[in-house]
Chain A
Amino acid sequence: MSTTRAAPASSGRGAAHGRGGSGADERRLSWRNRLYRFDMRYMPYLLIAPFFLLFVLFGLFPLIFNGVVALRNYRLDDPTLPYWAGVENFTRLFGDEDFWNALYNTFGIFLLSSVPQLLLALIVASLLNRKLRLQTWWRVGMLLPYVTPIVASSMVFSVFFSRDFGMANWALGLFGYGSPEAPIDWRADKTHSWIAIATMVNWKWIGYNALLYLAAMQSIPRDVYEASAIDGAGPWRQLWRITVPMIQPIIVFTVVLSTIGGLQLFTEPMLFDPNAQTATGGPNGEWQTIAQLIYKVGWKDLNLGYAAAMSWALFLIILVVAGINTLLTNRLSGGRR
């Protein structure tokens, strides 16, 4: 690193110094030399420029511009409205039943998906964290749901959870739950539709999170386990008293990831609905999430200004919840020790 670090300095200050020293050096500052200086000084910026340009244009700018749109009357079907709406789009949120309903649904599905997801991932990871035959293939297999398009798996699960002839009802029937005469209608109420959608989310992400946990588990120093054995801790206690506190940073990371992802849930609830195009999340919004409501308000009701305000509300909610969850997880997984 020393040369590369020193290089810009020498091409700047060092070269200047040499120039002041003698006239011969100055003449030797040939065009090749100038090229070299350009390369040293400006090339780094050229290398990062494409990233920053594209990122600012299509990532950052929309995010900020979203805030401007939220303050405007931006209706695709009615351009005659006054340009600025002030905070009207935001105040309207507070009285919007659809918004609160969607918020409620989003949190319900989020709880039903993230908690079992991370707990099961932890267990799967501790299963994988053994000397295994065909080790790689077990790990690759866990990623099958991860690479499967959510659109594809959501279609499969939609059929699983159909009222008549659905695999879920049939399987539950085997355990004496429900009956063919009065099958569970998974799309009739909040609880059942939430469970169905949470199942899709859990299926997709358990294996992925398990690999994240596995990676962290394998970097725990071995002597920690040696020390723990003296207290006579069994595998289960070992998992909760040693492994979990030791991999706490990655647990916090997955909690934040699943909060960000879970609160923006879109594809699963969309395709769970036989009338997906309406984006209502069931006949009475039983499982309509905020991301879905944003889509509906923006592109079905054509009110982009209001949809933008909702996006900002969702952004704030995600920030707050991610913060709370981080604190909670820190307490729960670290406090056990």
Chain B
Amino acid sequence: MTAVAPPRPAAPVRRNRPALMGRAPQDTPAGVGTYLLLAVTMLFAVFPLYWMFVIATSNDEALAKLPPAVVPGDRFMTNVEEVFSLQDVFFAASMVNSVIVSVVVTASVLFFCSLAGFAFAKLRFAGRNALMLFVVLTLTVPNQLGIVALYIVMGKLGWNGTLLAVIAPGLVTAFGVFYMRQFIVNSVPDELVESARVDGASTMRVYWNIVLPAIRPALAVLGLLTFVATWNDFQWPLITLSGSDYPTSMVAISDLASGNYVIYRRVLAGAFIATVPLLIMLFIGGRQIVRGIMEGAVKS
């Protein structure tokens, strides 16, 4: 009896453990420690953005202080006005250009990629599988590697230095077609397409009346991701627009930051202005962006 006694207190613990541990992590309520660690993570994510705003609102001395300034100043409008009135950077024009490029590219990607995605998902045609395989294979090829030749192509077309050169390579993406196809396969019932066919609906009518309404959520996700990526693109716009009067906002910011004497409160004021549209998008469409990224992960 005495030999059995010692393990006894351990027994209930052992019996409890499976009940507690057997739960999947996502069913386990987060403890204080988890919240604390998440809060620290969030602090790291937010701080550079917050500090961009601090410097954008400060005078020159804020950057030469120890401990560093962490409270916003009152010079935001002054700095912004300075950025916009610089003669050799064209900041206002660059913001307009960024809007034009991002809107055109996003609209084009949504339209052409959903058309192609629809064809690959719901229509039968010879070569369909081979062509789709081609799309999937090109997903991982970084077209940045063709950048030298792209510059030469744009030179032959006479587009270098214009927004056309920035817009054209972004008009369609293999990812867009892939993503749209996946979504349409899963969300547009074949029966719906069939019955519309029986009623004599043409392919375009099916696309317009059945597919488009069904894929609105996917359009939102792809649109947001495309807009963000296009707005933030730097390397290609820098190459093709260098020295032109039509920079995008990213190129304009790098112009602000070049030269012998860089005024960082201006640079960061410009950077902040160019970041705000994206922060607003994240605030409004964050749910969609998160879902899009996570859905993409499971499918791939």
Question: Once the chains bind, are A215 and B24 in contact (CB under 8 Å)?
Answer: no
**Contact residues in A for B295 (Cβ distance below 8 Å):** 215
Which of B140-159 touch A at CB < 8 Å? 140-153
**CB contact under 8 A between A159 and B234, given known A141-B46, A225-B22, A253-B300:** no
A66 contacts B148, C-beta separation under 8 Å: yes
Taking the complex as formed, is B86 at the interface, i.e. its CB lies under 8 A from any CB of chain A? no
Q: Is the CB of B193 within 8 A of A4?
A: yes
A-B contact pairs, 6 of them (CB 8 A): A54-B171, A127-B30, A149-B250, A153-B52, A156-B268, A264-B145
Check if A304 sits within 8 Å of B197, measured CB to CB. Answer: no
The chain A residue with its CB closest to the CB of B289 is: A143
Residue of A nearest to B234 (CB): A267
Determine if A315 is an interface residue (Cβ-Cβ < 8 Å): yes
Q: Say whether A212 contacts B297, CB under 8 Å.
A: yes
Q: Is B90 an interface position by the 8 A CB rule?
A: no
A146 contacts across to B, CB distance below 8 A: 228
- Which residues of chain A from 14 to 45 have any CB-CB distance to chain B below 8 Å in the complex? 36, 39-41, 43-45
Other than the known A52-B131, A158-B257, what 17 A-B pairs have Cβ atoms closer than 8 Å?
A3-B198, A43-B123, A47-B119, A54-B171, A55-B172, A59-B146, A65-B153, A66-B145, A138-B42, A143-B290, A143-B293, A155-B257, A211-B294, A212-B293, A256-B140, A267-B234, A291-B235
Instruction: Given A128-B38, A131-B26, A147-B228, answer yes or no on A212-B123 (Cβ-Cβ < 8 Å).
Output: no
B258 touches A277 (CB 8 A): yes
B residues with CB within 8 A of A = 14, 17-18, 20-30, 34-35, 37-38, 41-42, 44-46, 48-49, 51-52, 55, 63-68, 112-113, 115-116, 118-120, 122-125, 128, 131, 138, 140-153, 168-169, 171-172, 174, 177, 190, 193-194, 197-198, 202-204, 207, 228, 231-232, 234-235, 239, 242, 250, 253-254, 257-258, 262, 264, 267-268, 271-272, 274-275, 278-279, 281-283, 286-287, 289-290, 293-298, 300
Nearest Cβ on chain B to A225's Cβ, whole angstroms: 5
**Bound CA span A47–B35, Å:** 49
Nearest Cβ on chain B to A53's Cβ, whole angstroms: 9
Q: When the two chains form their complex, are residues A59 and B169 in contact, meaning their CB atoms are under 8 A apart?
A: yes
- Contact residues of B: prevailing secondary structure: helix
- In the bound assembly, the distance between CA atoms of A264 and B44 in angstroms comes to 25
Cα of A266 to Cα of B237 in the assembled complex, Å: 13
* Pair B124/A156 contact, Cβ less than 8 Å: no
The residues of B that contact A158 with a CB separation of less than 8 Å are: 257
Q: Is the CB of A131 within 8 A of B28?
A: yes
Closest CB of chain A to B106's CB: distance in Å? 14
